[in-house]
Homo-oligomer: A and B are copies of this chain.
Amino acid sequence: MRRLPVYLRALLDAHNEGLVTISSDELGNRVGANAAQVRKDLSYLGSYGTRGIGYDIELLQQQINRQLGLDKQFNVALVGAGNLGQALGNYGGFAERGFHVVAAFDTDQRKVGHKVGAAEVFPLSELGRVVREKNITMALIATPASVAQDIADRLVEAGVSSVLNFAPTIVNMSPEVCVRKVDLAVELQILGYYDHLREVDRGGAVAAGGAGSAAPSEAPPMAPAPTPRSC
């Protein structure tokens, strides 16, 4: 369930506000979902709510943590100590949640021996050894797209079991390894697309010059609802 971590954060906030109990409605407001959704999601954890009252915040946190396996700590490798790598290594949100970046790797000799966040930078050639020695099971790829696949192959060989790929390319891996991709520019493109839609909605012509006669005859293609909804 991709929403459990979000609930967890909202519960933490609520707890810090001194609340002890929370209704599905209130929790839904905080995470941007509706009450039914929240109840259905939480029902998969078991019945931890009290009718007429709501959910006990601390109990619910425990249950979500248990379900997500967040009692575990993970050792994480960071490959690529460029701008993005620096940011990831210094990002406090990881360690906070049990993800410890314990080593970084880069081909740039000038970076080797320095630190990003708490992690020492090693040359790429040491990857296999360090991964084994430090018991690393996860890796972040923050390299240019051109070398991402090579890095991925090395990581698999080193025995890593999960990879989060920030390079703007698809990497193929053995199916035993779990890969997720984060493409920052794609997020912006999506925003740009909605922006574009809104302008079109307001009656503006599409600016792009293009195939003059090729305008499709009917069917507003991609926007299913012709309502002035923005996103």
Q: Which residues in A have some Cβ–Cβ distance to B below 8 Å?
A: 1-2, 4-6, 9-10, 13, 30-32, 44-46, 62, 65-72, 74, 76, 83-84, 86-88, 90-91, 93-94, 96-99, 137-138, 161-164, 168-170, 175-180, 182-199, 206-208, 210, 214, 216, 221-222, 230-231
Which residues of B sit under 8 angstroms from A71, Cβ to Cβ? 207-208
Find out whether the CB atom of A178 lies under 8 angstroms from the CB atom of B231.
yes
Closest residue of chain B to A222, judged by CB? B44
* Nearest CB on B from A172, distance (A): 8
Q: Known contacts A45-B221, A186-B5; is A69 also within 8 Å of B230 by CB?
A: no
Q: Known contacts A97-B185, A193-B69; is A169 also within 8 Å of B221 by CB?
A: no
Most chain B CB neighbours (cut-off 10 Å) among A175, A180, A189: A189
Closest residue of chain B to A221, judged by CB? B44
Find out whether the CB atom of B195 lies under 8 angstroms from the CB atom of A178.
yes
A132 and B188 alpha carbons, distance in the complex (Å): 20
Q: Known contacts A66-B210, A178-B230; is A9 also within 8 Å of B192 by CB?
A: no
A-B pairs with beta carbons under 8 Å apart, 19 shown: A4-B193, A44-B222, A66-B210, A67-B222, A68-B192, A71-B207, A72-B207, A76-B188, A83-B90, A83-B91, A84-B87, A86-B86, A86-B87, A91-B184, A98-B192, A99-B185, A161-B195, A180-B187, A182-B184
* Nearest CB on B from A168, distance (A): 6
Closest residue of chain B to A210, judged by CB? B66
Closest residue of chain B to A76, judged by CB? B188
Which residues of B sit under 8 angstroms from A88, Cβ to Cβ? 87, 184
Q: Known contacts A72-B207, A182-B182; is A170 also within 8 Å of B93 by CB?
A: no
